[in-house]
Amino acid sequence: MPRNDSLEMGELTDTSFYILLSLVDAKHGYLIMKSIESMTDNRLSIGPASMYTSIKKLLSAGLIQLLKDEDEKRKTYVATEKGIQLLRKDVERRREMVRHAEEILKNRGV
């Protein structure tokens, strides 16, 4: 396994973070990319190869799951309980990062 695998360290990359976030509500795979683009005002657009790799990874880590649904052609995913928990933890981690930065920058009067 890759040495810098952040998922195994319990951290989400920006890509996984946004995929998981957009899967709090179930979505067709191809709609995830679109929803992330509109969520971030096109600042983040996930390439198709990165998307496919990330989905497979989140699936095998049990952070998202495939929904059995009527439309058998297109796959629908949703975040699992474990996925939501990790998302919460990661939001906390990111909040910390922002807090640290704000404190230091404020002290310098920037």
Which residues make up the interface to other proteins (CB under 8 A)? 2-6, 13-15, 29-30, 33-34, 44-54, 57, 73-75
Q: How far apart are the first and last CA of the chain?
A: 42
Residues in the chain: 110
Smallest distance, Å, CB 17 to other proteins? Answer: 11
Q: Is 74 helix (H, G, I), strand (E, B) or coil?
A: coil
Smallest distance, Å, CB 65 to other proteins? Answer: 15
Q: Contact, 12 vs 63, CB < 8 A?
A: no
Residue whose CB is less far from other proteins, 21 or 104 = 21
